[in-house]
Amino acid sequence: MRTISIKVDGRLHTVEVDPSTPLLFVLSDELGLRGPKFGCGIAQCGACTVIIGGRAVRSCVLPIGSMKEEDEVTTLEGLGTPEKPHPLQQSFINEGASQCGFCLSGVILTAKAVLDENPKASDEEIRQALGGVLCRCFTHTRMLRAIRKYADERRA
Amino acid sequence: MTISRRAFLKGTGALIVTFSGSVRSPFALGQGPFDTHASHIDPGKLDSWIAVAGDGTVTAYTGKCDFGQGMSTVQAQLVAEELCIPIGRVKLVQCDTALTPDQGTTSGSQSTPTNFNLRNLAQAAATAREALLAMAASELGAPVTELTLTAGVITSSSGQRRTFEQLIGSRRFNVPLSAAAKRRSPEQWTVLGKPVPSFDRVALVTGRFEFVHNVRVDEMLHGRVVRPAEAGATLIRVDENSIRQLAGIVKVVVRKNFVAIVAENQWQAIQAARQLKVAWNPGPVLTKQEQFYETMRKQPSQDALIVDSKDVGQRIARATKTLTATYVHPYQMHGSVGSSCAVADVKTDRATVWSATQSVYPTRSVIAQILDLPLDNVRVIYVRGSGCYGLNGADAVSFDAALMSQAVGRPVRVQLSRQDEMAWENYGAACVIDQRAAVDDQGAIMAWDCESWETSLGGRPGYDRPGNVITGTLIGYEPEKITPRAASQPTEQLRNRNNAVPSYFLGCIGSSCQGAGNIRSERVLTHTVESPFFTGPLRSPLRLQNTFAHECFMDEVAASVHADPVAFRLKHLRNERMIAVVKAAAKAANWESRIPNHKTLASDKATGRGIACVAYEGDNGYAALIAEVQVDATKGSIHPRKFTVAIDSGPVSNPDGLRNQTEGGILQGLSRALGERVTWDDRKITSIDWQTYKSLYLDFELPIIEVVLVESLHQPATGAGETAITLVAAAVGNAVFDATGIRLREVPFTAERVRAAILGLRSTASERG
DSSP letters along B16-69, please? ETTS--SEE-TT----SSS---GGG--TTBGGGTEEE-TTS-EEEEES---SSS
Whether residue B627 contacts residue B736, with contact meaning beta carbons closer than 8 Å, is answered with: no
CA-wise closest residue to B249 among B279, B241, B400, A4:
B241
Q: Look at residue B459 and tell me whether its pLDDT is greater than 70.
A: yes
Number of H helices, E strands in chain B: 18, 29
Q: What angle do CA B689, B694, B699 make, to 5 degrees?
A: 110
**CA atoms of B175 and B173, how far apart (whole Å):** 5
pLDDT, position B763: 84
Judge whether A22 is closer than 8 Å to chain B, CB to CB: yes
B120 in Cβ contact with B181 (< 8 Å): no
pLDDT score recorded for residue B37: 44
Distance, CA of B647 to CA of B563 (rounded, Å): 24
How far is the alpha carbon of B637 from chain A, nearest alpha carbon, in Å?
18
What is the distance between the terminal CA atoms of chain A, rounded to a whole angstrom? 50
CB-based contact B213 A38, cutoff 8 Å? yes
What residues of B are in contact with residue A121 (Cβ under 8 Å)? none
In angstroms, the separation between the Cα of residue B1 and the nearest Cα of chain A is 6
- Using the beta-carbon criterion (under 8 Å), do A41 and B418 form an inter-chain contact? yes
Angle at B258 (CA atoms; ends B255, B264), nearest 5 degrees = 90
Q: In this complex, how many residue pairs, one in chain A and one in chain B, have their CB atoms less than 8 Å apart?
A: 204
Q: Which of A25, A93, A103 sits opposite B201 (nearest CB)?
A: A93
Which residues of chain A are within 8 Å of residue B273 when distances are taken between CB atoms? none
**pLDDT exceeds 70 at position B31:** no
Q: Phi first, then psi: what are they for B336, rounded to 5°?
A: -60, 145
pLDDT band with cut points at 50, 70 and 90 for residue B173: very high
Which one of A89, A136, A148 makes the best mutation probe of the B interface by having the most chain B beta carbons within 10 Å? A136
B541 preceded by a cis bond (ω within 30 of 0): no
Q: Is the pTM of this model over 0.90?
A: yes
Nearest CA in chain B to A43: B690
Task: Report the gap between the CA of B383 and the closest CA in chain A (Å).
Answer: 12
Interface check for B702 against chain A (CB to CB < 8 A): the answer is yes
- The CA-based diameter of chain A, rounded to the nearest angstrom, is 50
* B663: contact with A, CB 8 A cutoff: yes
Across the range B407-417, mean pLDDT stands at 98
d(CA B254, CA B445): 60
DSSP bridge pairs for B380: B353
Contact by Cβ (8 Å): B529, B300: yes
Supply the DSSP symbol for B715. S
What is the nearest CA distance from A50 to chain B, expressed in angstroms? 12
Using a CB-CB distance cutoff of 8 angstroms, which residues of chain A are in contact with residue B665?
138
Q: Looking at residue B602, what is its pLDDT?
A: 61
Task: Tell me how close the Cα of B670 comes to any Cα of chain A, in angstroms.
Answer: 10
Q: How many residues does chain A have?
A: 156
**Mean of the per-residue pLDDT values for chain B?**
93
Q: What is the ipTM of this complex?
A: 0.98
Q: Which residues of B touch A128 (CB under 8 A)?
A: 699
Secondary structure class of B665 (helix, strand, coil): helix
Query: What residue in A sits closest to B386 (Cα-Cα)?
Result: A102
B387 chain-A contacts, CB cut-off 8 A = 99-100, 102, 136-137
CB distance B690–A83 less than 8 Å?
no
CB contact under 8 A, B418 and A44: yes
Task: Tell me how far apart the alpha carbons of residues B9 and B326 are, in angstroms, rounded to a whole number.
Answer: 52
Please tell me if residue B539 touches chain A, with a CB cutoff of 8 Å: no
Contact B439, B568 (CB under 8 A): no
Give the chain B residue nearest A80 (alpha carbons): B206
What is the sign of the dihedral through the CA atoms of B124, B128, B130 and B135? positive
The 10 Å CB-count burial string (b at 16+, else e) for B360-378 is bbbbbbbbbbbbebeeeeb
Q: What percentage of chain B carries pLDDT values higher than 70? A: 94
pLDDT at residue number B604: 86
Is the minimum CB–CB distance between B9 and chain A shorter than 8 Å?
yes
**What is the chain B residue with the closest CA to A145?**
B702
Task: State residue B485's pLDDT score.
Answer: 97
Q: Which pLDDT score, from 0 to 100, does residue B765 have?
A: 75
d(CA B124, CA B83): 10
Q: How far B594 CA sits from the closest chain A CA (Å)?
A: 29
Chain B residues whose CB is inside 8 A of the A33 CB are 3, 207
pLDDT at B1 over 80: no
For residues A12 and A72, give the distance between their C-alpha atoms in angstroms, rounded to a whole number.
Answer: 9
Give me the mean pLDDT over the B547-551 stretch: 98
Chain B interface includes A122 (CB < 8 A): no
Give yes or no for A21 touching B (CB within 8 A): yes
Is B213 an interface residue toward A (CB < 8 Å)? yes
Per-residue pLDDT of chain A (156 residues; tens, 9 = 90+): 999 999 999 999 999 999 999 999 999 999 999 999 999 999 999 999 999 999 999 999 999 999 999 999 999 999 999 999 999 999 999 999 999 999 999 999 999 999 999 999 999 999 999 999 999 999 999 999 999 999 999 988
Is the pLDDT at B768 greater than 70? The verdict is no
Residue-wise pLDDT for B628-637, tens only, equals 999 999 999 9
Nearest CA distance, A156 vs chain B (angstrom): 23
- Any CB–CB contact under 8 A between B389 and chain A? yes
| Tens digit of each residue's pLDDT (9 = 90 or more) over B707-758 | 999 999 999 999 999 999 999 999 999 999 999 999 999 999 999 999 999 9
Specify the 3-state DSSP secondary structure of A53. coil
What does chain B come to in residues?
769
Any B CB within 8 A of A148 CB: no
* Any B CB within 8 A of A25 CB: yes
Cα dihedral sign, B263-B264-B269-B275: negative
Q: Which amino acid is at B20?
A: S
Tell me the shortest Cα–Cα distance from B81 to chain A, in angstroms.
22
Instruction: Out of A93, A100, A139, name the one closest to residue B386 (CB).
Output: A100
Task: Write the CA distances from A137 to A100, B69, B86, B615, B688, integer angstroms.
Answer: 7, 9, 30, 23, 19
Of B197, B216, B337, the CB nearest to A103: B337
Q: Is A91 helix (H, G, I), strand (E, B) or coil?
A: helix
B692 touches chain A (CB under 8 A): no
Q: Would you report the helix, strand and coil content of chain B in percent, each value rounded to 5? A: 30, 25, 45
What local confidence, expressed as pLDDT, does residue B358 receive? 97
Residue A13 contacts B, CB cutoff 8 Å = yes
Interface contact A102-B336, CB threshold 8 A: yes
DSSP for B274-309 reads: HH-EEEEE--PPPPPGGGHHHHHHHS-EEEEEEEE-
Instruction: Residue A45: name the closest of A117, A115, A137 by CA.
Output: A137
pLDDT bin (cut points 50, 70, 90) of residue B24 is low
Q: What is the tens place of the pLDDT at every residue in B77-136?
A: 999 999 999 999 999 999 999 999 999 999 988 999 999 998 999 999 999 999 999 999
Distance CA B383, CA B388 (A): 13
CB proximity under 8 Å: A 31-60 to B: 31-42, 44-45, 47
Q: Hey, is B250 helix, strand or coil?
A: strand
How many Å apart are CA A75 and CA B331, to the nearest integer?
Answer: 36
The alpha-carbon gap from A15 to the nearest alpha carbon of chain B, in Å, equals 10
CA torsion angle for B759, B761, B767, B769 (degrees, to 10)?
A: -110
Among candidate residues B214, B266, B262, the one with its CA nearest the CA of residue A20:
B266
Inter-chain CB proximity B204 and A98 less than 8 Å: yes
- Whether B698 sits inside 8 A of A107 (CB atoms) is yes
pLDDT for res B595? 83
Looking at this protein, which amino acid is placed at residue A70?
A: E
Q: Is A73 on the interface with B (CB under 8 A)?
A: no
pLDDT at B386: 98
Q: Is B206 in Cβ contact with A81 (below 8 Å)?
A: yes
Does A44 contact B339 at a Cβ distance shorter than 8 Å? no
Which residues 546-575 of B have a C-beta within 8 angstroms of A?
Answer: none
Residue B260, SS3 per DSSP:
strand
Q: Which of B23-27, B390-394, B582-586, B679-683 shows the lowest mean pLDDT across its residues?
A: B23-27
Read off the pLDDT of each residue in B470-496 and give the average, rounded to a whole number: 95
Distance from CA of B69 to the nearest CA of A (A): 6
Element (H, E) at B738: helix B728-740
Answer yes or no: do B267 and A18 touch at CB < 8 A: yes
Min CA distance, A125 vs chain B (Å)? Answer: 9
State CA A146 to chain mean position distance: 16
Distance CA B596, CA B739 (A): 9
Spatial contact of B673 and B640, defined as CB atoms under 8 Å apart: no
CB-CB under 8 Å, A37 with B663:
no
Write down the pLDDT at residue B28: 39
Number of helices (H), then strands (E), in chain A: 6, 5
